[in-house]
Structure 1
Amino acid sequence: MTTPRRAHIGVKDVAAAAGVSVGTVSNVLNNPAKVAPATVDRVHLAIEELGFVRNDAARQLRAGQSRTIGLVVLDVGNPFFTDLARGAEQRAAEEGLSVLLGNSSESTERESAYIDLFEEQQVQGLLIAPIGDSLARLRRLRERGTPTVLVDRQVDLPDFSSVSVDDVAGGAMAATHLISRGRRRIVLVGGPLGLRQVDDRIAGAQKAVGDAPDVTLEVMDIDALTIAHGRSAGEALLRRPAGDMPDAVFAANDLVAIGIVQAFGMNGTVSIPGDVAVIGYDDIDFAQATVVPLTSVRQPRELLGRTAVDLLRRESAALAAGTRPEREHVVFQPELTVRTSTA
């Protein structure tokens, strides 16, 4: 008859079954090089027979150091943030760390809930693409000992490290490209206004248009940077009289641009780029796979995630050593990828 397993098997049970001390079991789990190979084998055999599972969370709390990093993004359904998270996860794995992902969905309440959750989990640090001005909440988090790095947010603050792309330069790059293609009536579709990334891209486009006196720029505010909202914006443009139609659309991200292309394509009366040139932002993988391959401003998405982890690790190491962390602000420059939608 098989003896039923106990509900919980601890280190003491493993030690008794292997005929060794609790300290030896601990060394086998954490520093096996300190233990004779035969003893290591005997302890692993006991672990297998007993079905022991180490309580890693408790071990981390005793050691005072978590092996997890929290990451809060604005929209996990946006491939930009998916790729950013992939880069962060890959870099964290190289350091023996794991990434816990939270999706704020551009909601301050959800963002605050994830910040609270990750603080309760005592993560090693937090990477966050913040909504609006949530820096006061993040400062309190840092004051209580959780290192925090701002992601996809260009700041020059003495108390936060950050990694971002120069979206003002990217907005200017997109508008300048359209102007160079002979376009003179540009509509910029993006929103919600107040979202820092959108505002910076608008500011860059306005600067470029300001240097071209015969060019106009109209901003069309939308509620979210999704394909559905882009399609609705495209349909709204199609309802305009012919004289009010733009000859170029700058979408604040590729998802919005894809929705606009879909709306024009389903209508069948507007050709791209013949009647209207369309440019997006981010250069996600889908950009080159649309019916009309999409010109886009490229961001180094995975590199953003990897760099954010490096900044967080350096800050965490400084705090562990009892020294003041050096604040770093890494700003990458975007690149233009030209395809059929503006060619």
Structure 2
Amino acid sequence: MAERAGVALGTVSNVLNRPEKVAEATRLRVLQAIEELGFVRNDAARQLRAGRSRTLGLVVLDVSNPFFTDVARGAEDRAAKEGLSILLGNSDEAVRREAAYMDLFEEQRVQGLLISPIGDVFARLERLRERGTPTVLVDRLAQGHPFSSVSVDDVAGGHLAVSHLIEQGCRRLAFVGGPLTILQVADRLKGANRAVAEHPGVTLEVMSHTGLTVHNGRATGEIILNRPVTERPDGIFAANDLVAVGLLQAFAVLNAVDVPHDIAMVGYDDIDFASATVVPLSSVRQPSALIGQTAVDLLLQEVEAMRAGLPFEHQQIVYQPELVIRESSLHQGALGND
């Protein structure tokens, strides 16, 4: 290639890695030779020499959940501005699968790891950092551990949702979602319980299940439909929008429940589909794309600090959720804001 362009090998290397050091005419001549010869850069070899790739790893709980899709998109957009790519792993809420992705991304020499962890992985993440791979927690507060994190106040979100249902006149409430071993779900329930405790005479039934999917919501909806009308909840807080969609599907099949007049409902995440359901769904909105972008910012700051051998002060950024009111939660049929 150097012979084809009439330059030294070092000049070709500069064109590929430090183009600002090469005269424009020379750079164009080398690029033309690259195109003519069909040269494809061996990035794996470059990674071995540099010790790191141009990638960041991202492990999410459920890639089929639109919330995590939006988080990944935000992270990808931010990383692209720095010439980096995102390698995405779906733990599917399985500890072994999560561990396998952490192993894989370390083997791939990612510059850093973004992760929405399932359980207590802090000891493992500390070992990763000791070996040169910093980590930022996504949608999970670091809670005193020496890591940066980007999350939403899910306790406040649960309080918002249930307070709204109570304001609409609901008194027999149900929380639908699980498993409660997922910290975000447990925090949303905690906020719901706080709201109920502030209003004597209001009850909250917990209907936990094994996943946060449309299928799980539909199954719980069928359980509710099999009860006598007087034993059904009059308000439901679903742990996420997918569960709420499943509930709406179950109620619509036999046209046995009028949402919101029989049962008012609020979901969580405010995914794009929430406003397009058969009854537009009230939901607690999280800034999903912003979470991904901010997590990448924090990770790159730590990467630079490690490279420079400088101390780094970890940050815990917590965004506040927003309640978006639509028809599904309005007992009186008044229109809310969208």
Whether these two folds match at TM > 0.5 is yes
Shift of 1:195: 0.6
Match of 1:183 among 170, 184, 191: 170
Question: 2:288 matched to which residue of 1?
Answer: 301
Over residues 2-34 of structure 1, what are the superposed CA-to-partner deviations in whole Å (9 max), with x where a residue is unaligned?
xxxxxxxxxxxx113223211011111122232
Over residues 97-153 of structure 1, what are the superposed CA-to-partner deviations in whole Å (9 max), with x where a residue is unaligned?
111100010011110010000000000100000002122221211121101000000
Match of 1:105 among 84, 92, 114: 92
Question: 1:135 matched to which residue of 2?
Answer: 122
Residues 1:264 and 2:256 are matched in the alignment: no
TM-score (norm 1): 0.94
**Contact 2:122–2:145 under 8 Å retained in 1:** no
Give the number of aligned pairs.
330
- Could you say which structure has the larger radius of gyration? 1
Question: 1:147 matched to which residue of 2?
Answer: 134
Question: 2:305 matched to which residue of 1?
Answer: 318
Separation in 2 of the partners of 1:182 and 1:228? 29
Separation in 1 of the partners of 2:261 and 2:32? 72
The aligned amino acid for 2:178 is: G
Match of 1:92 among 76, 79, 98: 79
Match of 1:70 among 51, 54, 57: 57
**Contact 1:73–1:81 under 8 Å retained in 2:** yes
Which ranges in structure 1 are unaligned for 5 or more consecutive residues?
1-13
Structure 1 window deviating more from structure 2 (284-293 vs 135-144): it is 135-144
Separation in 1 of the partners of 2:145 and 2:63? 29
Structure 1 window deviating more from structure 2 (266-275 vs 112-121): it is 266-275
Question: 2:198 matched to which residue of 1?
Answer: 211
Residues 1:160 and 2:147 are matched in the alignment: yes
Separation in 2 of the partners of 1:114 and 1:31? 33
Cα RMSD between the aligned structures?
A: 1.1
Structure 1 window deviating more from structure 2 (81-90 vs 265-274): it is 265-274
The aligned amino acid for 2:85 is: S
Separation in 2 of the partners of 1:122 and 1:31? 22
Separation in 1 of the partners of 2:28 and 2:81? 27
**Contact 1:282–1:298 under 8 Å retained in 2:** yes
SS state at 2:328 partner: coil
Question: 1:197 matched to which residue of 2?
Answer: 184
Separation in 2 of the partners of 1:107 and 1:121? 21
SS state at 1:279 partner: strand
Question: 2:105 matched to which residue of 1?
Answer: 118
Residues 1:50 and 2:37 are matched in the alignment: yes
Over residues 82-108 of structure 1, what are the superposed CA-to-partner deviations in whole Å (9 max), with x where a residue is unaligned?
000000001111111111100010011
Question: 2:241 matched to which residue of 1?
Answer: 254
Separation in 1 of the partners of 2:173 and 2:40? 61
Residues 1:330 and 2:317 are matched in the alignment: yes
TM-score (norm 2): 0.95
The aligned amino acid for 2:71 is: L
Separation in 1 of the partners of 2:61 and 2:145? 24
Question: 1:339 matched to which residue of 2?
Answer: 326
Question: 1:4 matched to which residue of 2?
Answer: none
Cα pair distance change 1:158/1:231, threshold 3 Å: closer
Question: 2:9 matched to which residue of 1?
Answer: 22
Separation in 2 of the partners of 1:22 and 1:71? 37
- Report the identity percentage: 65
The aligned amino acid for 1:192 is: P
Shift of 1:193: 1.6
**Contact 1:158–1:327 under 8 Å retained in 2:** no
Shift of 1:78: 0.2
